[in-house]
């Protein structure tokens, strides 16, 4: 039986548009779970997006919700129809808009791809108060600029997200974590489509999803004991914790070389996503994160600050696409009033050539 569509009235965005239009500086705010990612804003009028699920069509695997909707609320609606949208936010109270604006893909990227692949359509308020639609509510999207992908990871500097349409998928019949001391790189080669291969230099933790028989067979082929894997809800890896956190991005092939150097940093906890090239790091003291950034740079990567280490640039290296970023921001926000300070560089008043 197909569940009925879930419909809820979103708050009127007219007041938000008026606020954005009149303000000299605007800072979109969600649940503040990723408030410290990158650089802090220099301040402005705080605005919040509407919340609530507006439309859900399980047969089409699409859901439309206000950007202020929490990840937990969205998961609850989709779960009733045995579906999900793998945003994989660490905090259940995080908002959908905040997760997309931060653009930090979750731990299942290895199987399901980056966060931006989930976004079909966006509606956002521009710096001059216009309500703009980008993309389309179907898998076969419209032609032209891929505005939804531009907004993912923009940290609120292009527009204020108010509504999104996301691509859903059926929930896996089985999802289990397995723990092993096997080499993570060799183990991954023996698996078809693991959802996550996490490694801390000593222990390999693998998340497998699918039909229970397939999960057991894949675990066996990779040298994992199928009888010891707990359900995904209770067996995930211990993510690094600390007042100062970040994530390193390197080529996946450099993870093996990176590990010894990270292991030599006193007080640093780390966990790598094998096959992706993301390494989550955390330390109790700022020096640990700063040292991890040096290791990342020495291996051709970089470290994005997620929390702590005040007074230090959140990116550490010049963005390779900074010129393009500035031209995009100049086109959408010529005066630089949206989330000022969050991204390096500054929007110019010269619009991009047409």
The reported pLDDT for the residue numbered 143 is 57
In tens, the pLDDT along 244-273 reads 999 999 999 999 999 999 999 999 999 999
In tens, the pLDDT along 291-347 reads 999 999 999 999 999 999 988 899 988 877 888 888 888 899 999 999 999 988 755
Which residues, other chains included, contact 51 with Cβ-Cβ below 8 Å and sequence gap of 6+? 10, 11, 65, 66, 68, 69, 70, 73, 95
What three-state secondary structure class fits 157? coil
The reported pLDDT for the residue numbered 237 is 87
Which residues is 247 bridged to in the sheet? 280, 304
89: tokens are 């936010």
* Cα 345 to Cα 181: distance, rounded to the nearest angstrom: 44
The reported pLDDT for the residue numbered 347 is 52
In tens, the pLDDT along 45-97 reads 999 999 999 999 999 999 999 999 999 999 999 999 999 999 999 899 999 99
First to last CA, the chain: 50
The reported pLDDT for the residue numbered 318 is 83
Quick one: which of 316, 329, 327 has its CA closest to 354? 327
Which residues is 45 bridged to in the sheet? 26
- Half-sphere exposure at residue 243, Cβ-oriented, CA atoms within 13 angstroms: 7
Region 113-120: mean pLDDT is 95
Which residues, other chains included, contact 296 with Cβ-Cβ below 8 Å and sequence gap of 6+? 248, 249, 250, 258, 279, 302, 303, 316
What three-state secondary structure class fits 217? helix
* Cα 228 to Cα 118: distance, rounded to the nearest angstrom: 32
For every residue of 326-348, DSSP letters joined together read HHHHHHH-TT--BSTTSSSS---
The reported pLDDT for the residue numbered 229 is 58
Largest Cα separation within the chain, whole Å, is 62
The reported pLDDT for the residue numbered 220 is 87
For every residue of 248-316, DSSP letters joined together read EE--GGGHHHHHHHHHTSTTEEEEEETTTTEEEEEESSHHHHHHHHHHHHHTT-EEEEEE--TTS-SS-
């Amino acid at each position: 039986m197909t569940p009925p569509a879930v419909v809820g009235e979103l708050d009127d965005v007219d007041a938000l548009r008026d606020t954005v239009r009149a303000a000299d500086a605007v800072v979109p705010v969600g649940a503040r779970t990723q408030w410290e990612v990158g650089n802090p804003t220099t301040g402005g009028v705080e605005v919040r997006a509407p919340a609530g699920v507006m439309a859900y069509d399980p047969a089409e695997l699409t859901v439309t919700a206000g950007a202020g909707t929490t990840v937990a609320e969205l998961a609850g609606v989709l779960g009733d129809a045995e579906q999900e949208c793998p945003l994989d936010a660490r905090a259940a109270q995080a908002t959908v808009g905040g997760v997309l604006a931060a653009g930090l893909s979750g731990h299942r990227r290895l199987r399901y791809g980056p966060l931006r692949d989930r976004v079909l359509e966006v509606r956002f308020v521009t710096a001059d108060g216009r309500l703009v639609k980008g993309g389309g509510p179907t898998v076969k999207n419209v032609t032209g600029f891929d505005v939804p992908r531009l907004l993912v990871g923009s940290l609120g500097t292009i527009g204020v997200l108010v509504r999104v349409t996301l691509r859903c998928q059926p929930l896996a019949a089985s999802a289990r974590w397995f723990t092993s001391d096997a080499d993570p790189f060799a183990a991954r080669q023996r698996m078809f489509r693991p959802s996550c291969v996490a490694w801390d230099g000593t222990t390999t933790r693998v998340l497998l999803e699918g039909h229970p028989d397939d999960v057991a067979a894949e675990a066996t082929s990779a040298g994992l004991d199928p009888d010891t894997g707990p359900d995904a809800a209770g067996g995930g890896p211990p993510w690094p914790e600390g007042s100062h956190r970040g994530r390193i991005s390197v080529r996946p092939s450099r993870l093996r070389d990176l590990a010894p150097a990270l292991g030599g940093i006193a007080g640093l906890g780390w966990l790598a996503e094998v096959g992706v090239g993301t390494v989550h790091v955390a330390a109790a003291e700022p020096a640990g994160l700063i040292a991890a950034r040096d290791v990342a740079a020495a291996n051709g990567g970089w470290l994005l600050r997620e929390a702590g280490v005040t007074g230090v640039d959140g990116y550490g290296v010049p963005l390779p696409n900074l010129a393009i970023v500035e031209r995009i921001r100049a086109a959408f926000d010529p005066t630089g009033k949206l989330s000022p300070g969050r991204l390096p560089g500054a929007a110019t008043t010269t619009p991009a050539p047409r």
